[in-house]
Structure 1
Amino acid sequence: MSHKTDIEIAREAKKKPILEVGAKLGIPAESLLPYGHDKAKVSQEFINSVQGRPDGKLILVTAINPTPAGEGKTTTTVGLGDGLNRIGKKAIVCIREASLGPNFGMKGGAAGGGYAQVVPMEEMNLHFTGDFHAITSAHNLLSAMIDNHIYWGNSLDIDQRRVVWRRVMDMNDRALRDMVVSLGGVANGFPRQTGFDITVASEVMAILCLARDLKDLEKRLGDIVVAYRRDKTPVYCRDLKADGAMAVLLKDAIQPNLVQTLENNPAFVHGGPFANIAHGCNSVIATTTALKLGEYVVTEAGFGADLGAEKFFDIKCRKAGLKPAAAVIVATVRAMKMNGGVAKADLGAENVEAVRKGCPNLGRHIANVKSFGVPVVVAINHFYSDTDAEVAAVQEYVAQQGAEAILCKHWAQGSAGIEDLARKVVHLAEGESANFAPLYPDEMPLFQKVETIAKRIYHADEVIADKSIRDQLKAWEAAGYGNFPICMAKTQYSFTTDPNVRGAPTGHTVPIREVRLSAGAGFIVVICGEIMTMPGLPKVPSAEVIRLNEAGQIEGLF
């Protein structure tokens, strides 16, 4: 058994030239815009040319609530893509790009693990093809144009106290959450309070990930509400004439990035809204393009199914007209034990009772995903320390929930270790049993949509919101935004808004702290509990151990 690190495995990868990977999908060389030898963007002309083709089957990979034990959702997404190719299906993986900030903060890189990875790993976790830098630049161009407009006489009559467009950067920096700009006298403008969010929480990121094409992107950018006048009427991005220049900055970023798995199968890595504070799915353009090029498209949604899958179904699928054929819920024996009350240090010891005690978290996710009319299978991502009795306990529990749990060894064995899951996914997807529908209709009032998610998905008793928040939602309904879906910004670690509550709690309340209108993206962000739209660095950030070694290779990023 090899115990190589993810990065050692990635460095030994026998990568094919990206033009070869594209050729496998029938993408001609002239339709690929290479960034080096191992990554390329797919041209808009080619994407336009395949729109008449039938769609392949869309498979969602989601998970239980994340624990410090690790679940391996991306690893399973990549492994399943390889596994489907192994059993003779033409499959494409679609995942998000990694945010730079967290790479130097808590969690390090994100491109799968073991023998189920997407490469080139280092580039994907650093600047990649520059998409996030383009999004940051476009967002901050608009910020600069707002303050500049006010400086030069404010002909739009913007109320400086009601500028709602903040600034962004792709770094965890808590000092920038809340700040005053334009200090230093007349030449620097009028002082006002604002702050920074992380780039992946930017509405520009959400727009890029939901836009159908460049034209749709530009229209949505124009729709962004940046501020309000004294009479409460909205000021749009297009009023400042910023939408055209922003679209120019994003013209390459909107094209999907093609890379490969360790087994040289195609993967689109494109877009990356955070899943706890934004909608947490890769771009619509990458997913819909992949559906035209492959028989199966395996995509993931962020964090647990209470956030990722719900937003995938209620925002992405609703907006893009997607119909998922099946869903995979990733779980681990270790995470079940943690939900059952075992401390991280004790996870190595067999504890079947704790596994059983922790299973209700998984059970609730199974029921929730099924409630969208999508057939479900559970993937048990195998760890060396798992015992047969512990795995059997999970499988017995899942069988009682009317689903099947399949042991997957893709981390250690690549596609050979996940054939059983691949076959089950094909069986579900071709069984025509999917009857997908979002959780709530467009017409439902906004606050009722929030309550529906809180009660049906989180199993809460009530939603608490100040009158000012309820009035704000009513005002947006009156302004024509009532048919928008809701994007809940909530902790990923629990069904509740308290990150320390594990398992499948009931009877809790969901407090709403703030609501934000994303008029261009087309949803309302509802911020619950203590969630932050600009993360901070931990006491010992990953950045402290990231460096170049003697050979010029990057150490410490993973």
Structure 2
Amino acid sequence: MSWGIRTNGNPTSKSPPALDISACIPIYRGYRLFGEEQHLHQLSTKTFNWLLNQTLHSIVGEILRLNEDPTVHGVALHLSENAYSSKILNAVKPEKDVDGVSDVNLGRLVRGDTYNCSVSPTASAVMELLEKLDGKKVLLVETCGPLEASLQCLLQRKGAMTMSCQWKTQQLQSKLHQADVVVVGSTKPKEIPVSWIRPGTTIVNCYPDFLSGKISLKLVGCSLIAESVSQNMVKTSERWIQSQQYREWNLHCLKLQPLSPVPSDIEISRGQSPKAVDVLAKEIGLLADEIEIYGQTKAKVRLSLLERLKDQTDGKYVLVAGITPTPLGEGKSTVTIGLVQALTAHLNVNSFACLRQPSQGPTFGVKGGAAGGGYAQVIPMEEFNLHLTGDIHAITAANNLLAAAVDARILHESTQSDKALYNRLVPVVNGVREFSSIQLARLKRLGINKTDPGTLTADEINKFVRLDIDPSTITWQRVLDTNDRFLRKITIGQAQFDIAVASEIMAILALTTSLADMKERLGKMVVANDKNGQPVTAEDLVFSSFLWLLYYLGCKFSFCIFQGTPVFVHAGPFANIAHGNSSVLADKIALKLVGEEGFVVTEAGFGADIGMEKFFNIKCRASGLVPSVVVLVATVRALKMHGGGPNVTAGAPLKKEYTEENLQLVADGCCNLQKQIQIAQLFGVPVVVALNVFKTDAHAEVDLVCEIAKQSGAFDAVPCNHWSAGGRGAVELAQAVRKAASQENHFKYLYNLELPIIEKIRIIAQKVYGAEDIELSPAAQSQISRYSKQGFGNLPICMAKTHLSLSHQPERKGVPTGFILPISDVRASIGAGFIYPLVGTMSTMPGLPTRPCFYDIDLDPDTEQVKGLF
């Protein structure tokens, strides 16, 4: 690009050449980029005038607002000298700093990183005008702040010697006489004569009206500085476009030094110094404005990331499921974390773990936490297991507020006339009565196309104010994130409590694909029927928008780490009484972040017959995602139980059958493993069996399980030692998963949604559980008929059954046969989008055992550390 204006001073002339590039206008500009990426010149500018009396606080506030505006890609500040302030200059984000005035951009310039910094447009214009500076003396007069720093750096890099002074400097005349070039940043005082400037000196004027008198001068207008500003705008826009594209990972994994014997989970967690979450976020390509940091080790991620990476190809999608577990669990979370550590830290493959948020119920009940275990866990495990960022509590508040709204509406409708209700629902405020936007939406659903409250007829008012809820049909229960059996049924109000993670709001959070989708789903939630048998929704209660606002923060999911590898934690529905999978949003964003060759590993609760079946038939339908591989977790302990071993009881020592070699028990118990492999094959996805090895397992037992698994149709079966060795102990599993993911995928759903509800239940019972048939109670039959008439018959099925057996009877292990599956009740989560039958005596509120986990949990008042959590 030719800028084309240059003056060479004539040593014999009394008139110094002057280059006027002044552009000191007290405004700032925010600009937006328009058009496709190749049309970077298409910039739209917005000009904001600063009032003389505008405060520093208000100016900084406006700049911060522009920083967060995704449609503004740069901020140009043009300040008078008295407006310069470090708070203002550093308020602009470095990547939007068109003027190059922030400390970050100046630091990059000094360091020589000119590609990643913006340079002062005035300084750039000065340098464009000056050539052959090597050995020249350049005097900077009244060039203060960022401009002076930029000029000194650029001039010295060109070989010039720089001097700085003010108009009041005592040796000013001497310095002016020595200088080959004078760069002026303010108006020359009248008392300083032009004769002090040596003939032949080049003057670069950065301020209007520098010279006085009748000397003929060659002046360059402000086009150069404007061009430099424009150039910086394009540069920042190019950087913005690059920032919106997929970024290669630059992940540095933390080193593990496993100890033997393996310490407790909480000791291991505290012994590992976690990486700062903002550092990890940068390493995996997250932008600074896409995360909200909570402390040092966790953050929430903004959903804007999905829009930024919408054109990025997804990575491979891996589901971790399991065989029918013992009450102790078989380590699916541990396998998930170990697999991700192996892929990332040892095979150098981008990978993400996506987990559910733990509920206080099992954490303080029988099972304990859900952070994994040993050297394959999410850290800090105390924060992971105890509330994390509070999403479950937000669900509890939203759920119970809706329950209170239902009861309150019934009360008010029973005690007030139509007129009184209308006057309270649509009050006169400041002499004006008007509908809210939510009320207008309700009128539209009722077929009343009016916007003036004064024009409704008596019949229309009646329809508007009365929901006529039938109390006997209320299905919306209050929830609490605590195992409390005495809240299963309470006398006063004839109501009950469910555990918080059984709330439909939790299911909606896990299945939603966007904020708009979540708002729509919340509005569709059915809380009861009216006296005509029609469903009453949260939208009818004019409540859906408030629910959406209340739970908005929960839609940003949490982000934790271990061994420097990333973990998304979002949503936590149980698998026995809900669909048992982490959120669709977490999976979708992780699939974009890992890149085409990366892996996202997510977990389904309990056995494959429960969590995996619901993952395929419910979650995959909602997300549209197709899994690449199923990892089926098994343990010798659980297989021995299914082979006829004694009961495994939480809190009690294991019997000798589980601590001594017994190949016959293992072989007999592999029938459950074979059945779970067959269930996975119903969906056409390759299966890799991960045998979670315990220290009591004999080598012969491990080899036997792997051999039987391969003979039963598994793509591969490998022993895993990640609990004791971290990612290194799951390398063989990671290699098997990579190979399986390259196989042809024949994914399919188990049933057609258009089938009748009863037929869909029967297919699951027979093909997945192995039942001969199903038996519906009168209540279940009545509910199915009602939901079918209401138009909900085409929803998928979410079976609520025990996780301790393939059948409805927890004591029946192995592969039960010859049983009829009893359906005691059928409920609907219309917002979440599924029908859920209750099998047998299944309860939606767990109870505490004789000796809960909280007996061992304490807080040390001196160290402020939690003790006894596992």
- Conservation of the 8 A alpha-carbon contact between 1:332 and 1:382: yes
Residue 201 (structure 1) aligns with: 502
Give a deviation string over 1:370-398, Cα, whole Å, max 9, x none. 11000001001111111111111112211
Letter in 2 for 1:480: G
2:776 to 465, 473, 481: 465
* Distance in 2 between residues matched to 1:47 and 1:13, nearest whole Å: 32
Residue 186 (structure 1) aligns with: none
Query: Matched residue pairs, number?
Result: 546
Instruction: Say whether 1:254 aligns with 2:565.
Output: no
Query: 1:54 Cα deviation (Å)?
Result: 1.1
1:407 to 705, 715, 719: 719
The residue matched to 2:392 in structure 1 has which SS? helix
Instruction: Say whether 1:95 aligns with 2:405.
Output: no
Residue 25 (structure 1) aligns with: 284
Instruction: Say whether 1:264 aligns with 2:576.
Output: no
- Conservation of the 8 A alpha-carbon contact between 1:134 and 1:253: yes
Query: 1:52 Cα deviation (Å)?
Result: 2.2
The residue matched to 1:259 in structure 2 has which SS? strand
Residue 76 (structure 1) aligns with: 335
Q: Select between 444-453 and 67-76 the one with higher mean Cα deviation.
A: 67-76
* Distance in 2 between residues matched to 1:152 and 1:46, nearest whole Å: 44
- Conservation of the 8 A alpha-carbon contact between 2:314 and 2:591: yes
Residue 300 (structure 2) aligns with: 41
* Distance in 1 between residues matched to 2:381 and 2:374, nearest whole Å: 12
* Distance in 2 between residues matched to 1:271 and 1:330, nearest whole Å: 22
The residue matched to 1:373 in structure 2 has which SS? coil
The residue matched to 2:633 in structure 1 has which SS? strand
Query: 1:478 Cα deviation (Å)?
Result: 2.4
* Distance in 2 between residues matched to 1:335 and 1:174, nearest whole Å: 27
- Conservation of the 8 A alpha-carbon contact between 1:350 and 1:387: yes
Letter in 2 for 1:397: I
2:814 to 503, 516, 523: 503
- Conservation of the 8 A alpha-carbon contact between 2:525 and 2:830: yes
- Conservation of the 8 A alpha-carbon contact between 1:487 and 1:525: yes
1:211 to 512, 536, 539: 512
Instruction: Say whether 1:492 aligns with 2:799.
Output: no
1:173 to 478, 481, 484: 484
Give a deviation string over 1:324-375, Cα, whole Å, max 9, x none. 0000100111211121122331111110111101100000000110110000
Query: 1:159 Cα deviation (Å)?
Result: 1.4
Instruction: Say whether 1:122 aligns with 2:423.
Output: no
Residue 617 (structure 2) aligns with: 314
Give a deviation string over 1:426-457, Cα, whole Å, max 9, x none. 111112x2111110011111110000000000
Within a 5 Å distance, the mapping from 1:316-331 to structure 2 comes to 316-331=619-634
Instruction: Say whether 1:239 aligns with 2:540.
Output: yes
The residue matched to 2:318 in structure 1 has which SS? strand
* Distance in 1 between residues matched to 2:620 and 2:706, nearest whole Å: 30
- Conservation of the 8 A alpha-carbon contact between 2:318 and 2:628: yes
Instruction: Say whether 1:293 aligns with 2:612.
Output: no
Give a deviation string over 1:186-212, Cα, whole Å, max 9, x none. xxxxxx321110000000000111111
Give a deviation string over 1:117-156, Cα, whole Å, max 9, x none. 1112111111110100111111111111111111222521
Residue 345 (structure 1) aligns with: 655
Q: Larger RCO: Structure 1 or Structure 2 (Cα < 8 Å, ≥ 6 residues apart)? A: 1
Give a deviation string over 1:284-319, Cα, whole Å, max 9, x none. 110111111112100000000010100000100112
Residue 544 (structure 1) aligns with: 855
* Distance in 2 between residues matched to 1:399 and 1:48, nearest whole Å: 42
* Distance in 2 between residues matched to 1:485 and 1:517, nearest whole Å: 10
* Distance in 2 between residues matched to 1:492 and 1:269, nearest whole Å: 23
Query: 1:69 Cα deviation (Å)?
Result: 5.7
The residue matched to 2:472 in structure 1 has which SS? strand
TM-score normalised by L of structure 1: 0.96
TM-score normalised by L of structure 2: 0.62
Q: Select between 226-235 and 546-555 the one with higher mean Cα deviation.
A: 546-555
The residue matched to 2:700 in structure 1 has which SS? helix
Same amino acid, percent of matched pairs: 46
Letter in 2 for 1:386: D
- Conservation of the 8 A alpha-carbon contact between 2:328 and 2:367: no
Instruction: Say whether 1:553 aligns with 2:869.
Output: no
- Conservation of the 8 A alpha-carbon contact between 1:69 and 1:335: no
* Distance in 2 between residues matched to 1:478 and 1:53, nearest whole Å: 43
Residue 365 (structure 2) aligns with: 105
* Distance in 2 between residues matched to 1:259 and 1:54, nearest whole Å: 24
- Conservation of the 8 A alpha-carbon contact between 2:349 and 2:599: yes
Within a 5 Å distance, the mapping from 1:519-538 to structure 2 comes to 519-538=830-849
Residue 637 (structure 2) aligns with: 334
- Conservation of the 8 A alpha-carbon contact between 1:275 and 1:308: yes
- Conservation of the 8 A alpha-carbon contact between 1:31 and 1:46: yes
Within a 5 Å distance, the mapping from 1:348-427 to structure 2 comes to 348-403=659-714, 404-427=716-739
* Distance in 1 between residues matched to 2:692 and 2:369, nearest whole Å: 19
The residue matched to 1:552 in structure 2 has which SS? coil
Instruction: Say whether 1:156 aligns with 2:467.
Output: yes
Segments of 5+ residues of structure 2 without an aligned counterpart are: 1-259, 415-465, 647-653
Give a deviation string over 1:385-437, Cα, whole Å, max 9, x none. 11111111112211221222101111111111111110110111112x21111
Residue 463 (structure 2) aligns with: none
Query: 1:214 Cα deviation (Å)?
Result: 1.4
Query: 1:252 Cα deviation (Å)?
Result: 0.9
Query: Relative to structure 1, is the Cα distance of residues 195 and 238 closer, same or farther in structure 2, using a 3 angstrom cutoff?
Result: same
The residue matched to 1:417 in structure 2 has which SS? helix
* Distance in 1 between residues matched to 2:699 and 2:845, nearest whole Å: 42
* Distance in 1 between residues matched to 2:555 and 2:512, nearest whole Å: 8
* Distance in 2 between residues matched to 1:416 and 1:179, nearest whole Å: 51
Instruction: Say whether 1:438 aligns with 2:749.
Output: yes
Give a deviation string over 1:434-485, Cα, whole Å, max 9, x none. 1111100111111100000000000100101024422321331222111100
Query: 1:51 Cα deviation (Å)?
Result: 2.0
Letter in 2 for 1:483: N
Letter in 2 for 1:259: C
Residue 189 (structure 1) aligns with: none
Give a deviation string over 1:216-250, Cα, whole Å, max 9, x none. 11111110111111111111110111111111111
CA RMSD of aligned residues (A): 1.2
* Distance in 1 between residues matched to 2:780 and 2:824, nearest whole Å: 8
* Distance in 2 between residues matched to 1:460 and 1:305, nearest whole Å: 16
Q: Select between 62-71 and 84-93 the one with higher mean Cα deviation.
A: 62-71
Give a deviation string over 1:53-91, Cα, whole Å, max 9, x none. 111110000000111464111000110111111212100
The residue matched to 1:481 in structure 2 has which SS? coil
Residue 123 (structure 2) aligns with: none
The residue matched to 2:289 in structure 1 has which SS? helix
* Distance in 2 between residues matched to 1:103 and 1:377, nearest whole Å: 29
- Conservation of the 8 A alpha-carbon contact between 1:69 and 1:338: no
- Conservation of the 8 A alpha-carbon contact between 2:319 and 2:627: yes
* Distance in 2 between residues matched to 1:68 and 1:233, nearest whole Å: 41
Residue 273 (structure 1) aligns with: 573
- Conservation of the 8 A alpha-carbon contact between 1:516 and 1:525: yes
The residue matched to 2:473 in structure 1 has which SS? strand
- Conservation of the 8 A alpha-carbon contact between 2:779 and 2:824: no
Segments of 5+ residues of structure 1 without an aligned counterpart are: 182-191
* Distance in 1 between residues matched to 2:622 and 2:769, nearest whole Å: 23
* Distance in 1 between residues matched to 2:834 and 2:335, nearest whole Å: 29
Q: Which runs of 4+ in 1 moved over 6 A?
A: none
